[in-house]
Amino acid sequence: MLHATELLGSQAYDAQGNLVGRVKEFYLEPAEQGGRISRVLLTRGKYQPLVARYDQIGFVEPGTIRLTVGETQLEPYAKNEAWLGVRKDLLDQQIIDTHGRKVVRVNDLEMVEHKTNGNVELRIARVDVGLTGAVGRLLQGVAPHSMIRRIQEKLPTRQILWEFVNLIEPDPLRRVKLRLTSQKLAKMHPADLADIMEELSPDERSSIIASLDEETAAEVIGELDKRLRPQVVETMDPERAAEILEEMPPDEAADVLAELAPETSHEVLREMPKHEAAEMRELMRFEEHTAGGMMNTDMVEVGAEATKAEVVDYIRFHDTALEQLDTIVLINRDAEFAGTVSAAKLVLAAQEQRMAALASEPFISVESQVEEREIFELFDKYNLRSLTVVDEERHPIGSITVDDIVNRMHAKLK
């Protein structure tokens, strides 16, 4: 096992044994072989730096690298934004540990040798984020490599497999050139990713959101601390922001829009389809700590005289989202609130059973101006999973779920 810090500064010799320079940098090409060292930058005083490819390296040990070609076959160095530098971009930089779900700082990199066709390829195996890497860097150039290794063996290790590392690149243009993907981040739970983002700089947060698809970005923004959501959204192009907000539940999207500066909110609303924009404006009318400010307008609403078979067909036809199926809201012939039916009762009912017969009692609803304290009390008193919000004419206009209550309580505890 080799460490990046003990190889940087090594002397490099060509196939004839001539000194051609010292190792200044190792480069990776994430789009090709993610963990392979593809090039080695060699500096030699006042002369132009040279670059050795991965297939031109024959021997590696701390302090020495031997090449399989002569100096004339090495490339002159030219800056390339598609190359990721070990010293410049990784050492002492923050990365995301997607396995441990946290942000960590890189102290050193462990490399392994792969021998192929007479050459030695260096590949990053692990990232050292603990005391061993920190001590190694501190003692480089002060103590012999063998002594540093003996000291490190006595220390506790904290390492991350390279396959669990996600790089943070705040520059969107360079991220494209490096062809960094967000596949590892997209597999994380949105709440975990939101926690990680709260530890990063504003530019780094924006970079991560920009790398995610609209649906995943919407879930992550929904989990972010309320103080950070406007910062993230306001850095986006209004069209991109609108696409992400359209993937959020209407109540969450309206909350985010209300947190933005008025001019930014208007720009985002202009990019939304007219129906969604009108719905957002309607929700933004309500005070935050009222039923109207808490409710979600996405709900399944059917006639009380409908049968189970008719309701199931309705749900299938409208391709209803799963999160809307926990409770079915009933209305009478005058479109007034007539109770609710739980998904469990719907599943167990006979095909010809009418919804009115399945309705849970008591029939509880609140008007939009009711304060959140009273809503908390209703959920606690009746052990509710959802609560229907009605207008002055008792027409259902939204629903508050137990998840909304938990989120509100959690925000208050913060």
Same structural domain, 194 and 257: yes
Q: 267 with 314, same domain?
A: no
Residue 172 pLDDT > 80: no
Whether residue 174 is contained in a domain is answered as no
Q: CATH no. for residue 356?
A: 3.10.580.10
Of residues 173 and 286, more confidence is placed in 286
Judged by phi (left if over 0) then psi (alpha if -120 to 50, else beta), residue 233 lies in: alpha
Q: Give CA–CA dist 297/251, Å, rounded.
A: 7
- Domain boundary among the residues 262, 285, 308 is at 285
Query: Looking at the structure, do residues 9 and 157 belong to the same domain, yes or no?
Result: yes
Q: Are 3 and 110 in contact (CB under 8 A)?
A: yes
- Residue 321 pLDDT > 80: no
pLDDT the model gives residue 329: 96
Res 412: pLDDT: 73
Backbone angles phi and psi of 259, in degrees to 5: -80, -15
C-alpha distance from residue 280 to each of 60, 190, 207, 291, 401 (Å): 62, 23, 27, 15, 19
Interatomic CA distance for residues 107 and 125, integer angstroms: 14
Distance spanning both ends of the chain, measured CA to CA: 45
* pLDDT beyond 80 at 177: no
Indicate if 68 and 191 belong to the same structural domain: no
Q: Structurally, how many domains does the chain consist of?
A: 3
Residue 182 pLDDT: 73
Where residue 251 sits, what CATH number does that domain have? 1.25.60.10
Give the number of other CB atoms < 10 A from CB of residue 210: 18
Task: Please indicate, yes or no, whether residues 112 and 205 belong to a single structural domain of this protein.
Answer: no
pLDDT at 283: 92
CATH classification of the domain holding 43? 2.30.30.240
3 state SS of 231: helix
More confident site: 410 or 314 = 314
The answer to whether residue 136 sits within a structural domain is yes
Residue 263 has pLDDT above 70, yes or no: yes
| Same-domain pairing of 311 and 276 | no
pLDDT of residue 176: 66
What mean pLDDT do residues 83-104 have? 91
97 within domain boundaries: yes
Q: Say whether both 261 and 385 belong to one domain.
A: no
Q: Is residue 285 pLDDT above 70, yes or no?
A: yes
Query: Range of 315's domain?
Result: 300-413
Residue in 210, 252, 254 with CA at minimum distance from that of residue 235: 210
Query: Which residues in 29-164 belong to E strands, given as ranges?
Result: 37-44, 47-53, 57-61, 64-67, 75-76, 84-85, 94-97, 102-105, 108-116, 119-128, 159-161
Domain contains 178: no
Same structural domain for residues 7 and 142? Answer: yes
Tell me the pLDDT tens digit for each residue of 214-232. 999 999 999 998 899 999 9
List, for residues 59-85, the tens digit of each pLDDT value: 999 999 999 999 999 999 999 988 999
Q: What percent of the chain has pLDDT over 70?
A: 98
CB 323 within 8 A of CB 219: no
Residues 155 and 6 in one domain: yes
* 33, pLDDT greater than 80: no
Could you tell me if 141 and 228 lie in one domain?
Answer: no
Q: Are 360 and 326 in contact (CB under 8 A)?
A: no
Residue-wise pLDDT tens digits, 155-167: 888 899 998 888 8
Residue 324 has pLDDT above 80, yes or no: no
Q: Residue 414's pLDDT is what? A: 63
**Which residues, in sequence order, are CB contacts of 285 under 8 Å at separation 6+?**
292
Distance CA 374, CA 224 (A): 26
- 156 belongs to a structural domain: yes
The answer to whether the CB of 112 falls within 8 A of the CB of 98 is no
Residues 256-271 have a mean pLDDT of: 94
| 96, 129, 162 - which closes a domain | 162
pLDDT at residue 268, as a whole number: 96
User: What is the pLDDT of the chain when averaged over all its residues?
Assistant: 91
Taking 3-state DSSP, the helix, strand and coil percentages for the chain, each rounded to the nearest 5, stand at 40, 25, 30
pLDDT given at position 147 = 87
Q: Which of 216, 191, 192 is nearest to 103 (CA)?
A: 192
Domain assignment present for 290: no
Same domain, 357 and 222: no
The answer to whether position 370 is within a domain reads: yes
* 25 plus 145 within the same structural domain: yes
CB-CB contact of 14 with 69 (8 Å): yes
Residue 371 within any structural domain of the chain: yes
Say whether pLDDT at 271 is over 70: yes
Tell which of 234, 262, 285 closes a domain. Answer: 285
Q: Is the dihedral of CA 276, 271, 195, 259 positive or negative?
A: negative
